[in-house]
């Protein structure tokens, strides 16, 4: 379902196509700034397995672990996947706190979800000395995770659009950890001087965002979205 939240006026994250080589990725982006990668992988086969009908058929009776959509994800709740899709996968309530909003991302049972993840083609680049771990998610329009940081990784949108906001490690953003990204966009973002605004862009299906280690980032699903992240640990 398409949401009512607009995209940013101008994407400020650099884009790179399939001509980007691994040495150039390491030199220009891996340790210094985010980049959106286009055309490096083809996940059309994986996308075909991620429709509502296919996922319900494969995982409908399986439990999924939901996290609260706040910076520190205090609370976890287990529900059947069918219940999440049919009852909880709805647009974000603008007045609801992130700490009271349940969100499906990560916490994937690899015994059950592993066969699906085997069909995913991750980005071809790695950070030396790291290994990859997947985090799969499905969320309603207006949902997202407020600002937080962790190790480097990639994030690909399979269905829908996902808007990203990013700050470098030395520039801590102004936000409340229990406020949703949607509320932050409505209340805090308009008050920011141009120099204090984040890097931002909207990912569309097939596009992959790379974010370096310890970069602050917040996400906002503009539509009902399916997405997968590849964390480099």
Task: State pTM to two decimals.
Answer: 0.95
Q: Is residue 29 part of a domain?
A: yes
Q: pLDDT for 186-206, tens place per residue?
A: 999 999 999 999 999 999 999
Is 148 domain-assigned? yes
Query: Is the pLDDT assigned to residue 109 strictly greater than 80?
Result: no
**Number of domains present in the structure of the chain:** 1
Contacts of 77 (CB under 8 A, 6+ apart): 65, 66, 102
Residue 166 in any domain: the answer is yes
* Measured torsion, CA atoms of residues 175, 177, 183, 185, in degrees rounded to the nearest 10: 40
pLDDT digits (tens, 9 = 90+) for 74-87: 789 999 999 999 99
Give me 225's structure tokens: 């979205």
Examine residue 165 and state whether it is found in any structural domain, yes or no.
Answer: yes
CATH number at residue 166: 2.60.120.650
**Averaged pLDDT, 107-135:** 91
- Residue 220's pLDDT band (boundaries 50, 70, 90)? very high
Asked whether residue 3 is domain-assigned, the answer is: no
Q: Is residue 10 part of a domain?
A: no
Domain assignment of residue 9, yes or no: no
Residue 8 lies in a domain: no
User: Which pLDDT score is estimated for 9?
Assistant: 87
* pLDDT, mean of residues 113-139: 94
Range of the domain at 170: 15-232
């Amino acid at each position: 379902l398409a949401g009512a939240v607009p995209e940013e006026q101008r994407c400020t994250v650099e884009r790179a196509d399939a001509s980007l080589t691994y040495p150039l990725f390491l030199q220009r982006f891996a340790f210094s700034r985010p980049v959106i990668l286009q055309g490096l992988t083809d996940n059309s086969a994986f996308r075909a397995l991620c429709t509502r009908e296919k996922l319900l058929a494969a995982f409908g009776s399986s439990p999924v672990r939901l996290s609260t959509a706040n910076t520190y994800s205090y609370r976890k709740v287990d529900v059947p996947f069918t219940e999440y899709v049919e009852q909880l996968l709805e647009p974000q309530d603008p007045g609801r706190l992130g700490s009271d909003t349940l969100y499906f991302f990560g916490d994937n049972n690899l015994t059950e979800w592993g066969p699906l993840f085997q069909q995913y083609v991750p980005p071809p680049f790695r950070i030396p000395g790291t290994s990859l771990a997947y985090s799969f998610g499905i969320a309603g329009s207006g949902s997202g995770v407020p600002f937080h940081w962790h190790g480097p990784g990639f994030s690909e949108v399979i269905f829908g659009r996902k808007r990203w906001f990013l700050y470098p490690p030395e520039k801590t953003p102004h936000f409340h950890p229990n406020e949703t990204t949607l509320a932050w966009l409505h209340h805090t973002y308009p008050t920011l001087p141009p120099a204090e605004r984040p890097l931002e862009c909207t990912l569309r299906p097939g596009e992959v965002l790379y974010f370096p280690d310890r970069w602050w980032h917040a996400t906002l699903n503009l539509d009902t979205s399916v997405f997968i992240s590849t964390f480099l640990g």
